[in-house]
Structure 1
């Protein structure tokens, strides 16, 4: 038997069934879901069913909020049944001042997104909401009144019921044994026959890595065992029920790493130990389905005791059952949603450690992406291509263990977690360390964040002014008064060549193609006119172009370039690993470079031009541009030549006061120029014009993907506006996701921020969803509204005189 499908979803947990449901409701036909065992087998069936609105990222929050609406309101109305959703509310409590900062930050974000998260600023507020909890040592917490818990099996089967009523097919007891691509279709061998599908979706959860291997894509997820225990009757809970009192809110203590929720007249306690236990890393046992592991409470005894000390009623119930089963973790604990890198018509919807909590929303998110050609919100936090081939077995295992252990960790801004580091190293890595680099990780790369003159210095995580502040100030001063050198090798780098190269680049995005020897900035659009990618384009010759983009965009941008190259006589090469890059920036950069090359660096090398030159005998692609607002060059060369190039520049630069600078200094300086960054400020949700890049939109005489939608949105009255804000921040430097308020009303959101060391002020780029607001603005940072004003001109060198010098 060969079954034809428009979409084949592999996996019948909450995630896969949600996608089936949402695609069916969107009008897709010939939908098939195949499940190895039965619906919910794997991890969905034994989930505790917690649902929350708490999240540090707007997209993750929307996935969770969409799930709540679906389980609580939509599915019961559609099916006439129930998903077993209990709107109990939830709270998180803490004895940690840093955690209170985190709670204040999430509450601020939620003001903008419109969800009700309330900061609790005293133990008394905690006690009033949860009378069974002792509050000694508690500073406060955060309360989420619309949170609750759901029956995972009822919710999944309700979605399946609606999907089937709209024509979808669900095949149970039908494991997949092989997957291959032939022509325009995927051929999937299953126990019940071959399925021929135009699209396939890996929603296999616990089996996600294995199905990925069949597809030919790396799925960096690992099953990890998680235990929770269910008590017998707890007298205090039974008394509340008898008295007609409302259900207790769920309570989490992230410092002690546990959650507790009411289950009928008992309680559920879920601990997260620090030493996680990965399970079946290289393949799940063939017969595994709805099985559990034996209890192993010795591993979590200390957490159980801590929870009982906080909620003494736990001791009175006795243990009815212990659930010990696998849940999947990715390297950052966020799900993998979106296109499978390098594979046509293949998608991932897997890897969620919160499958029921995020499943309803995740299915909506991917269904929109498949239907409209772009995600409904910024996808960077969940895009399945945020990890590359460098996310190997060791990486996925070490990061899964780390994420499980930090399930309740504080999410600091600028946080650098230590596990599985050093996967991608620049040729200058050792030289950077020798000069005091304190490294961070970006898309697997090690990159200097800042430089210290004290051996062994590390960043101390905080929501407030960090210990690297003075070091970054020194780096900025060096770039401003002399010259700074940065290792830019982490850039994604592509070469496009062939007879149609100019036509291809012209069809890529909103700006015109630069002439030979010139550089331009081109934004590729989504079908809806949002910013999908940002490329710096250097025209080396009429048929040869060199494109660079953000490190984290590598797989996404490669997929975009290769997909849009169809119909053009061009070749696209990813040369990220083959080429390195040095940034030489500052007023003395020309003098330093002149000592090493015979090339004309004055009139013959104007701003925004590219030349092939030799520097100290090394062939270099020199791009005269600067992201920091100073005279400068990016010097790109073969990886094997980068160290020699660095040594020559370093030697020539020392008499001029040359020093190194890192990513934090670069961020400070680009904010002073009002330059948006891809992934933070440029997103698929907003057009380049809304982000302030209107002068780079030159659509005349050209067609490009998203053109009509872009022009329509540029003329719309409800378009957003990005502004640069100066904030009276009171020594707490802004970062991201702070709400912008107009007379106390949320009207915008900060997308990136920091301290401008040259202009001596706190700066932030922010979107206003109401254009033209200028007076009575403030930014709420960690619970306090800070006065803010819109800067109509860039505060540093607004005429670009320094860059053009």
Structure 2
């Protein structure tokens, strides 16, 4: 057995074997996989093996698409049949709202080239007469997917990995990890079977490796303890039942092919054929989290007792949908642990705070995702980046504030939300409120309807007291839409205030801070008292993080970035400092996110409001351009509250960000609200802000900005200083322009706006996709931002955007269609 390898994969389920295979295929010829028991003995062995394409995430759709295509190639390579039954996938809808969901999904699927077909209830009935369709609105059918045998596909990938030189060792448990500064020392114990249990023996070895990948499935909490980190992957019970043969199905199959995988999302189940009978897999309410503190040593390829009462409603709805199943008995049942995360997406990428430690945990749809997860994680490890932006799956999207209780409750919710209507404006209630700014209660009393961002409660919009946000959700213009319109107009015409306290905030200072930040970011550094917008790039020249940099002193900088990415940004920044401190000199990094609140005050009357409150001998002159120019910052006093005021506004209006001590937030809130009455101050939420920033073509990290586009492709040349050297510069220049970011005004339907997931066409040719969408109060129509091929990026180009299965006219407009000269932002007092 080897004791020194380049990469060690821990975990022999379908995900681990895929990673080992793809690392070897990517060119690493010294890879080892360790499994504490037998291959597939975790959740893989009892998985139903379904391969659903359906996913609202661009990155995850690519991962699923790769898996489905890749699995079809395994037999030719390995000689092993992976058991792939390409029967298709029929997803039925009982309501118009569900069909709206499918149409939004379908447009997202088109951006990735995923095939689908629409079917009417009559077409479904004609093709599969055993299915009841009289209460259906329609269905979407994927002809290219189906189901696979989990054990067979795992063994096929394992054989493919061995053929490529991977060592696979069974019955070895990892008991410790130690980082030497350049490599990992992994302590492993030989496991032996005694009395049906798997127990450690006295035999131990140490394996030295450059890289470790953990794909430990249900054992993720044990892995987290060994590494000293948090991993919010906790299993939830998932049960499915297998029926005896259905006589009607047996008769049907004499002259017809196999049914597709059937999904009745409104009934919360999937069904597929199994040897003349049916497999029913429900996603019911009340399924509990298990193994919050680790898997018992006695639990191997085991199951939990079936809880039939918990799935009674779903069982009866199967009988309703497939009436012939009513008289069929139960043949078998399974209730096993399936790992989840708080948002239902896996954790794929570098571990927080650790070097060369990679996580592949929390796969609730592990069979579907395994192939793509292996491919794209291997790309991250071998090439430095994947061809798709993997940030939405990065393990650091959950911060260190997260606890076991939070993860367990949110994971249970993610499970029972598998088949709920996934409105783009969806807000899930579990484990909330948790992280709140001091003004939370005041904003709630003012009608705030909150969203959940990195654990923070952040107002989405403000409505009358008693308003029900859940009932306001829609795939079209929901009940909240008019409130957001009113807020956007108020900020354009008067003055509005946004609570932006969730912004990520770091202070970088020290003798080496200036040289470091000059290398770390692509724009010129601001002068003292000024600010710049800039970007940290990946080694491939794409956008890793967006920063507003405020220079307080010669070697003191405030870095402000997106609130959803605090741990993600902090980890990257600190690791970069560690790498460069010896070269540049002492650098200190402080995460001040929870110490500083932020109110963004903007609109034509914002200056008038602030003049009433500032402590100065000449308030009238204090905020004029000469004394407080655009893109500058200085400490001010608003009555009894010290504030760092930054003259910038993400909404594109005259405005200031007011950064203040968090403990004084309620004082400042009350002060601003009282003084603002005279000027019609209106509280504004994130949805109106999102619309307003699109009118200014302001790119947002996580939508227009990410690790799959360079700042040049994003159209941010004015924020790139090509006269200096900076991280990723050469790679950015080498990449060139593959696609370009554009802003479009859209003549869409009267009752809907794009969400930023839609496909763009030139004629009948797919040329790009939207990354953001919404409504423009300035132009009275829908607006969107996205990426198109360079030859279609000229201002004035007419395109089509697909919404609700129809193509709607769209035109590319100049950047910042609202106030393109920034006259409003620069206006004097």
Classify the TM-score, shorter chain. Answer: over 0.9
Partner residue, 1:223: 235
Confirm whether residue 489 of structure 1 aligns to residue 501 of structure 2.
yes
Per mean C-alpha deviation after superposition, the further-off stretch among 352-361 and 788-797 is: 788-797
Q: How far apart are residue 482 of structure 1 and its match?
A: 2.3
Aligned match of 2:570 in 555, 558, 580?
558
Partner residue, 1:45: 45
Q: How far apart are residue 457 of structure 1 and its match?
A: 4.1
> Does the aligned pair in 1 maintain the 2:238–2:337 contact within 8 Å?
yes
Partner residue, 1:731: 751
Aligned match of 2:761 in 731, 741, 751?
741
Q: How far apart are residue 360 of structure 1 and its match?
A: 1.0
How far, CA to CA, are the matches of 2:515 and 2:535 in structure 1? Answer: 15
Partner residue, 1:111: 110
How far, CA to CA, are the matches of 1:80 and 1:742 in structure 2? Answer: 43
Deviations 1:323-363 (A, max 9, x none): 11110111111111111111222111010111111111111
Partner residue, 2:541: 529
Partner residue, 2:193: none
Aligned match of 2:126 in 115, 125, 128?
128
Confirm whether residue 795 of structure 1 aligns to residue 817 of structure 2.
yes
> Does the aligned pair in 2 maintain the 1:584–1:634 contact within 8 Å?
yes
How far, CA to CA, are the matches of 2:229 and 2:516 in structure 1? Answer: 27
Aligned match of 2:677 in 633, 650, 654?
654
What SS is found at the alignment partner of 1:50?
A: coil
What SS is found at the alignment partner of 2:593?
A: coil
Partner residue, 1:664: 687
Confirm whether residue 327 of structure 1 aligns to residue 338 of structure 2.
yes
Partner residue, 2:196: none
What SS is found at the alignment partner of 1:337?
A: strand
Q: How far apart are residue 5 of structure 1 and its match?
A: 2.7
Partner residue, 1:633: 656
Per mean C-alpha deviation after superposition, the further-off stretch among 760-769 and 371-380 is: 371-380
How far, CA to CA, are the matches of 2:386 and 2:359 in structure 1? Answer: 13
Q: How far apart are residue 776 of structure 1 and its match?
A: 4.1
Confirm whether residue 206 of structure 1 aligns to residue 218 of structure 2.
yes
Residues 253-264 of structure 1 aligned to structure 2 (within 5 Å): 253-264=264-275
Aligned match of 2:151 in 150, 153, 165?
153
Partner residue, 2:200: none
Aligned match of 1:778 in 800, 805, 819?
800
After superposition, the CA RMSD in angstroms is: 1.7
Q: How far apart are residue 239 of structure 1 and its match?
A: 3.1
Confirm whether residue 586 of structure 1 aligns to residue 603 of structure 2.
yes
Per mean C-alpha deviation after superposition, the further-off stretch among 763-772 and 779-788 is: 763-772
How far, CA to CA, are the matches of 1:645 and 1:721 in structure 2? Answer: 38
Partner residue, 1:691: 714
> Does the aligned pair in 1 maintain the 2:742–2:813 contact within 8 Å?
no
What SS is found at the alignment partner of 2:826?
A: coil
How far, CA to CA, are the matches of 2:373 and 2:2 in structure 1? Answer: 29
How far, CA to CA, are the matches of 1:713 and 1:166 in structure 2? Answer: 31
Partner residue, 1:232: 244
How far, CA to CA, are the matches of 2:72 and 2:278 in structure 1? Answer: 22
Q: How far apart are residue 793 of structure 1 and its match?
A: 4.9
How far, CA to CA, are the matches of 1:727 and 1:37 in structure 2? Answer: 59
Partner residue, 1:79: 78
> Does the aligned pair in 1 maintain the 2:350–2:395 contact within 8 Å?
yes
How far, CA to CA, are the matches of 2:127 and 2:422 in structure 1? Answer: 25
Partner residue, 1:176: 174
Confirm whether residue 575 of structure 1 aligns to residue 597 of structure 2.
no
- TM-score, normalization by structure 2: 0.94
How far, CA to CA, are the matches of 1:108 and 1:523 in structure 2? Answer: 30
Aligned match of 2:436 in 391, 411, 425?
425
CA gap of 1:651–1:555, structure 2 versus 1, over 3 A, is same
Residues 264-279 of structure 1 aligned to structure 2 (within 5 Å): 264-279=275-290
> Does the aligned pair in 2 maintain the 1:82–1:154 contact within 8 Å?
yes
Q: How far apart are residue 149 of structure 1 and its match?
A: 0.9
What SS is found at the alignment partner of 1:59?
A: helix
What SS is found at the alignment partner of 1:802?
A: helix
Deviations 1:74-120 (A, max 9, x none): x1111022101111111011111110001111112222211111222
CA gap of 1:80–1:457, structure 2 versus 1, over 3 A, is closer
Per mean C-alpha deviation after superposition, the further-off stretch among 36-45 and 310-319 is: 310-319
Q: How far apart are residue 514 of structure 1 and its match?
A: 1.3
Partner residue, 1:762: 782
Per mean C-alpha deviation after superposition, the further-off stretch among 97-106 and 422-431 is: 422-431
Aligned match of 2:482 in 470, 473, 478?
470
What SS is found at the alignment partner of 1:191?
A: strand
> Does the aligned pair in 1 maintain the 2:35–2:173 contact within 8 Å?
yes
Aligned match of 1:703 in 720, 725, 733?
725
Aligned pairs, how many?
799
> Does the aligned pair in 2 maintain the 1:723–1:768 contact within 8 Å?
no
Confirm whether residue 356 of structure 1 aligns to residue 373 of structure 2.
no
> Does the aligned pair in 2 maintain the 1:725–1:766 contact within 8 Å?
no
Per mean C-alpha deviation after superposition, the further-off stretch among 10-19 and 654-663 is: 654-663
What SS is found at the alignment partner of 1:567?
A: helix
Deviations 1:359-389 (A, max 9, x none): 1111111111111222321223311111112
Q: How far apart are residue 516 of structure 1 and its match?
A: 1.4
How far, CA to CA, are the matches of 1:302 and 1:480 in structure 2? Answer: 50
Q: How far apart are residue 801 of structure 1 and its match?
A: 0.8
Deviations 1:573-620 (A, max 9, x none): 111111111111112222221222245322121000111222213222
Per mean C-alpha deviation after superposition, the further-off stretch among 463-472 and 598-607 is: 598-607
How far, CA to CA, are the matches of 1:508 and 1:777 in structure 2? Answer: 37
Aligned match of 1:294 in 284, 298, 305?
305
Confirm whether residue 25 of structure 1 aligns to residue 25 of structure 2.
yes
Deviations 1:443-483 (A, max 9, x none): 10001111123344425110111111221222223222321
> Does the aligned pair in 1 maintain the 2:767–2:792 contact within 8 Å?
no
How far, CA to CA, are the matches of 2:775 and 2:162 in structure 1? Answer: 55
> Does the aligned pair in 2 maintain the 1:674–1:724 contact within 8 Å?
no
Gaps of 5+ in 1: none
What SS is found at the alignment partner of 2:580?
A: coil
Confirm whether residue 60 of structure 1 aligns to residue 77 of structure 2.
no
What SS is found at the alignment partner of 2:818?
A: coil
Deviations 1:525-574 (A, max 9, x none): 12222111100111111101000000111111112211211223211111
> Does the aligned pair in 2 maintain the 1:727–1:764 contact within 8 Å?
no
Q: How far apart are residue 317 of structure 1 and its match?
A: 4.2
Q: How far apart are residue 173 of structure 1 and its match?
A: 1.2
How far, CA to CA, are the matches of 1:758 and 1:454 in structure 2? Answer: 28
Q: How far apart are residue 15 of structure 1 and its match?
A: 0.8
How far, CA to CA, are the matches of 2:615 and 2:283 in structure 1? Answer: 62
Aligned match of 2:519 in 485, 507, 522?
507
Q: How far apart are residue 778 of structure 1 and its match?
A: 1.4
